[in-house]
Amino acid sequence: DPSMSKESGVPFASFEELAQEATSHSADEPMDAEILAPLTSDSIAIVLYTSGSTGIPKGVRLSYSAICNRLWWQFRTFPYSDSEEICVWKTALTFVDSVCEIWGPLLHGRALLILSRETTRDPQKLVNVLADNQ
């Protein structure tokens, strides 16, 4: 059962909790419950690790339903046009928007252009890369 952030009420897992859970199981043989566990919309899809505003590392668990809800909102609100064949991923993996930057285009059959941090921090390089990949 995940801990809840006192500030936001968002479920999260600390590194210590995850490490303890990971070491309590044999790495060689997963338990039957792990193999046969049914996935539901409330199942955890990913854990994003962040230091947050407190500086204390924590993992924020995102459910399949939360990710799907965000993607469907994005698709309805900002649909891809026929001319958008290549999309850009520039956001850090620890930021929740990276999930949509990665999966949004891929789920719609678009190519994904992955930019380096160096490119995203240099406006001229960014403009050049975008122009080269139109």
Q: Ramachandran region of residue 107, left (φ > 0), alpha (ψ -120 to 50) or beta?
A: alpha
Q: What pLDDT, on a 0 to 100 scale, did the predictor assign at position 99?
A: 92
- Among 68, 92, 108, residue at a domain's last position: 68
**Which pLDDT does position 95 carry in this prediction?**
82
Domain containing residue 14:
1-68
Answer yes or no: do 8 and 64 share one domain.
Answer: yes
Q: Please, which residues have CB within 8 angstroms of residue 41's CB and are 6 or more apart in sequence?
A: 63, 64, 65, 68
Domain boundary among 68, 89, 117: 68
Find the angle CA(42)-CA(48)-CA(52) to the nearest 5 degrees: 120
Q: How many CB atoms lie within 10 A of CB 60?
A: 19
Length of the chain: 134
- Secondary structure of residue 83 in the 3-state scheme: coil
Q: What is the rounded average pLDDT for all residues in the chain? A: 83
Please list, residue by residue across 65-100, b when 16 or more beta carbons sit within 10 angstroms of its beta carbon and e when fewer do.
Answer: ebbeebbeebeeeeeeeeeeeebbbbbeeeeeebbb
Give the type of residue at 77.
T
Looking at the structure, do residues 100 and 57 belong to the same domain, yes or no?
Answer: no
* Residue 85 sits in the same domain as residue 129: yes
Same-domain status, 5 and 59: yes
Question: Tokens 């407190």 sit at which residue?
Answer: 54
Residue 20 domain flag: yes
- Mark whether 39 and 95 lie in a shared domain: no
What is the pTM (predicted TM-score) of this model? Answer: 0.64
> 69-128, pLDDT tens digit by residue?
999 999 999 999 999 999 998 888 878 889 999 999 999 999 999 988 899 999 999 999
Q: Where are the beta strands (DSSP E) in the chain?
A: 3-4, 11-13, 44-50, 58-63, 86-89, 111-114
pLDDT of residue 17: 76
Number of domain units in the chain: 2
Q: Is the pLDDT of residue 4 over 70?
A: no
Tens of pLDDT, residues 18-66: 777 777 766 667 666 666 677 888 888 998 887 767 777 788 889 999 9
Q: 87 in a domain, yes or no?
A: yes
In a domain, 73, yes or no: no
Tell me, yes or no, whether 60 and 34 share the same domain: yes
Q: Which two tokens stand for residue 69?
A: 């809800």
Q: Are 47 and 13 in contact (CB under 8 A)?
A: yes
Q: Quick one: 86 and 54 in the same domain?
A: no
